[in-house]
Structure 1
Amino acid sequence: MDFKHISVLLDESVNAVVTDKKGIYVDCTLGGAGHFMAIGSKLDAEGIIIGIDQDSAAIENARRVTVNLKCKVYLVQDNFSNLAKVLKSLNIENVTGIIFDLGVSSYQLDTPERGFSYMHDAPLDMRMSVENSRNAGYIVNNYSQEQLSKIIYQYGEERWAKRIAEFIIKARNTKKIETTYDLVNIIKQAIPKGARQDGPHPAKRTFQALRIEVNNELGILENTFKVAVDALRPGGKIAVITFHSLEDRITKQVFAELQKGCICPKNFPVCMCNNSAKLKKGLSLKPSKEEIEENHRSRSARLRVAEKL
């Protein structure tokens, strides 16, 4: 299967991040290499672009499509939470711009055997890296009812989380839950018929929650964003594209925290914390109506950009 993926907010994010044709840029979520290629095409021979992805298929695809770029290209198979280690291994101290596209690639969603989609029958997997020892099947067959309810509610923002968890436990006591369709059928039984008639596919929120839990997607964001800002040179830009409210909330909170100067109590006569702002507030954008019509997966996206002081 070809690695096809439509990058969201492509021009807006790339134009915001690329400020120097001779600069050093990092695409922390290589995916289908859309943002990577768009950044790389703006750089001259002295420029450097680094692509990070834990999915070997993304790395292999990027090796094919980046051969004609003029700039120097580094492709690293790793989790972006290891950004500091990656930069150190390349002897790079600071960079000009960093971009995160936190959406799951269309390739991953549309490859049935990866188990991300509730639209294809496949083993319950959802691992972005096959080196991850824990997959979605392990979670639904081993987590307690309380644990399942918690992650489905928190990560999926699913109002029927408790009932879905209850039905999962009941089903697995009879037979191991092995495929995506096994789980979809359980979810459909758990959610009352009236609630299933409106809104998105009944399994969408639960599958999102499991994907986030399998890959620890939210747990690594705060620290990684702070590491990324530390790696930026003054005037460098960080851009983050999110696809649901939980990711966006973390992004917004980290940016706001790093935009603060003194954090001493207001009644202190002089500053004792010596804290200084690291970021200057930048733009916040959603996709245009035209982009949403062309790519429905972009409808929940938001781009946030900030500049290193």
Structure 2
Amino acid sequence: MGEPTAADASSRHTPVLLQRCLDLLGPALTAPGAVMVDATLGMGGHTEGVLRAFDEVRVVGIDRDPQALALAGERLAPFGDRFTPVHAVYDEIPDVLDRLGLPSVQGVLMDLGVSSLQLDETERGFAYAHDAPLDMRMDPTRGLTAADVLNTYDERALARVLHVYGEERFAGRIAEAVVRRRAQAPLTRTAELVDIVRACIPAATRKTGGHPAKRTFQALRIEVNGELAALERALPAAIESLAVGGRIVVESYQSLEDRLVKRALAVGATSSAPPDLPVEPATHAPYLRLLTRGAEEADAEELARNPRSQSVRLRAAERTRPTPDHLRTARRAA
């Protein structure tokens, strides 16, 4: 199969909840000189939608995957210098903006999880439905692979990864089987892992909940790419990058991500004053306003158009004032 092209990117990638993202970001992106950070550029579908909808907006597109950056760059070339690609992880937003001389931005979009490109390129090893090398790195130029994790972590560490990041009920059983299997020969292929997982999960359980290896693959992907740790750093950094009136939209695809997003937005949308104070000091007032009631999901029309929207949970907020100094200090100390 040849190298994917910009046309492939456009035809293969339908951005999830695009119109809803545009509606939520729109009031901030109409400001003169508005800049948006697409913190998870992927194949550029959301950014293309933003650049088409808002004629004056500039987008800084961040991705750790060099192949995604190349595809998106080709796809978005018609927009000229309104689009700036950056090879980085989204927790590097402050450094990226510093290098570009941008003190703040009007919008941040995060579309979390594995991208369409990574799922569709079977040799990357993200998909349990196809046999491929056990890689799963979003940036294939650096870091541990899934094979490294499976072949070097001890049984207890493996079980923890599967239980915490995959919420896998049979984590201990799978970890034990992996350690037993690798003693014969190192694991190198996704099909080997699928066979191990399937054998460890009781037949009755396999009848529900989708593919039996789904949770194990999710857990390994999160571990290999340090996804949750990066997200935990990226969320406050993204919020701090917003100018007053700026907006952040985050799309999550599993409960661990959504929990972190909910918590980060709630911190900004909740008074930091002690609950027993009769009057709230102005310095303790919230600095974010939630734009969604809970997490929004895809409706039937979106699901029919884009099956990958099935598990999406969207949350959004607007910055109403600068972050109080005492909360900035607390974050730096943490």
TM-score (norm 1): 0.94
Which of 8, 11, 14 aligns to 1:6? It is: 14
The one of 264, 282, 285 aligned to 2:291: 282
User: Where do 5+ consecutive residues of structure 1 fail to align?
Assistant: none
Shift of 1:105: 1.4
Aligned pair count? 307
* Distance in 1 (alpha carbons) for counterparts of 2:26 and 2:280: 36
Please report how far the alpha carbon of residue 192 of structure 1 lies from its aligned counterpart in structure 2 after TM superposition: 1.7
Secondary structure in structure 1 of the residue aligned to 2:238: helix
- Match 1:67 to one of 59, 77, 100: 77
Residue 201 (str. 1) matches residue 211 (str. 2): yes
Asked whether the equivalents of residues 126 and 211 of structure 1 are also in contact (C-alpha less than 8 Å), the reply is yes
Question: C-alpha separation between the residues in 1 aligned to 2:313 and 2:278?
Answer: 40
**For the residues of structure 2 that align with 1:5 and 1:140, how far apart are their CA atoms?**
31
State how far apart, in whole Å, the 2-side matches of 1:48 and 1:197 are: 48
Stretches of structure 2 that go unaligned for 5 or more consecutive residues are 321-334
Q: For the residues of structure 2 that align with 1:184 and 1:124, how far apart are their CA atoms? A: 11
Aligned twin of 2:308? 297
Instruction: Check if 1:121 corresponds to 2:131.
Output: yes
> For 1:1-309, what aligned pairs fall within 5 Å after superposition?
1=4, 2-3=8-9, 4-19=12-27, 20-21=29-30, 22=32, 23-44=34-55, 46-69=56-79, 72-264=82-274, 266-267=275-276, 274-283=283-292, 284-309=295-320
Distance 1:273 1:145, change over 3 A: farther
Q: Report the alpha carbon displacement of residue 272 of structure 1 after superposing the two structures with TM.
A: 8.4
Q: Distance in 1 between matches of 2:90 and 2:199?
A: 38
CA contact (8 A) 2:249 2:316 kept: yes
- TM-score normalized by the length of structure 2: 0.87
- 1:32 CA drift (Å): 1.3
Q: Structure 1 vs Structure 2: percent identity of aligned residues?
A: 38
- Aligned partner of residue 176 in structure 1, secondary structure: coil
Give distance in 1, aligned partners of 2:120 and 2:298.
22
In angstroms, what is the RMSD of aligned CA positions? Answer: 1.7
What is the CA-CA distance between 1:196 and the residue it aligns to? 1.5
Amino acid at match of 1:17: L
Give the direction of change, closer, same or farther, for the CA distance of 1:169–1:286 in structure 2 (3 Å limit): same
Query: Deviation at 1:262?
Result: 2.9
The 2-side partners of 1:279 and 1:202 are apart by 40
How many Å separate the matches in 1 of 2:279 and 2:299? Answer: 46
Question: Per-residue CA shift, 1:45-98, capped at 9, x if unaligned?
Answer: x43111000111111111211122276211101111100000001000111111
C-alpha distance in 2 between matches for 1:279 and 1:268: 21
Q: Which residue of 1 aligns with 2:328?
A: none
Q: Quick one: distance in 2 between partners of 1:203 and 1:56?
A: 27
Aligned-partner residue type, residue 99 of structure 1: L
Say which structure is richer in helix.
2
Question: What's the secondary structure of 1:41's corresponding residue?
Answer: helix
